[in-house]
Amino acid sequence: MNSTIETILNHVSVRSFTDQPLTQEQIKQLVTAGQAASSASFQQAYTIIGVSDQELKMKIADLAGGQKFIAEGGHFFVFCADVNRHKQIAEDMNIDISGTIEGMDAILVGAIDASLAAQNLVLAAESMGLGVCYIGGVRDGIIGISDLLNIPEYVAPVFGIVVGYPNERNDTKPRLPFEAVYHENNYNNDTKGLINQYDELTKLYYSTRSGIKQNKIWSESAVGSFVRHPRTFMKKFLTDKGWAKH
């Protein structure tokens, strides 16, 4: 155990923030920590848009599934997969990369790079005593949010992150058993027993945790989330922006 692992293991999503804003220095420090992450082929295929305009933040909160806390404190970062700058550089060099950036792998490259930078930013924030919450709800409102942020082609918002001073924190959530997630030498397709055990653990967690208590288990909430967020418009959104055509 060391202080880095302690910070990692103490992670909880925070959904209530004080009014204390982040300083410009903190924002720069966080983004710089994000940028230090590894990047596939060093493409740095992402852009982070900070939303400081309160009215814009409220509109985004609305479009991101009506998650009001996004606009109630903290700084909002929108992480975008981005190969737009690569396209522009290639055009200047008279090189055609459209076959690559229009393929499925390019959106993965951008989304992976954005995620690695994001998690670095999250850990940096948590090490500073700040709270964070990822906002995948950005993809629920991806069309409207992209319009608001003037997102050009070959750019796609993948999630947001709210970062701020925590008002309250939940207890840390237990994760899936080690053996359910770590398989050795081949894929273990028989993890039902482990998942049943985990459902019992999460039932206890949700019914006894500090803060809002709920009667639910992990299996139901995970499947329920897929039911609530089919996001069937995503393929069209991506292809309209030039991505994922083949």
Site residues (vs ligand FMN, CB under 6 A): 11-13, 15, 67, 133-137, 159, 170, 173
Q: How far is the CB of 16 from ligand FMN (least distance, A)?
A: 11
Q: 134 or 191: whose CB is closer to ligand FMN? A: 134
Q: 166 or 242: whose CB is closer to ligand FMN? A: 166
Q: How far is the CB of 86 from ligand FMN (least distance, A)?
A: 24
Q: How far is the CB of 213 from ligand FMN (least distance, A)?
A: 15
Q: How far is the CB of 65 from ligand FMN (least distance, A)?
A: 6
Q: 11 or 216: whose CB is closer to ligand FMN? A: 11
Q: What is the DSSP string of the chain?
A: --HHHHHHHT--B---B-SPPPPHHHHHHHHHHHHTS--GGG---EEEEEE--HHHHHHHHHHTTS-GGGGSSSEEEEEEEE-HHHHHHHHHTT---HHHHTSHHHHHHHHHHHHHHHHHHHHHHHHTT-EEEEEGGGGTTHHHHHHHTT--TTEEEEEEEEEE-BS--PPPPPPPPHHHH---SS-----HHHHHHHHHHHHHHHHHSSSS-----HHHHHHHHHHH---TTHHHHHHHTT----
Q: 187 or 226: whose CB is closer to ligand FMN? A: 226
Q: 147 or 171: whose CB is closer to ligand FMN? A: 171
Residue nearest ligand FMN by beta-carbon distance:
136
Q: 69 or 100: whose CB is closer to ligand FMN? A: 69
Q: At a CB cut-off of 8 Å and minimum separation 6, what does 82 contact?
A: 45, 46, 47, 110, 114, 154, 155, 156
Q: How far is the CB of 188 from ligand FMN (least distance, A)?
A: 23
Q: Which of 76, 23, 29 is nearest to 52 (CA)?
A: 76
Q: How far is the CB of 62 from ligand FMN (least distance, A)?
A: 13
Q: 67 or 84: whose CB is closer to ligand FMN? A: 67
Q: How far is the CB of 162 from ligand FMN (least distance, A)?
A: 9
Residues 203, 132, 58: CA angle, nearest 5 degrees: 105
**Maximum Cα–Cα distance across the chain:** 62
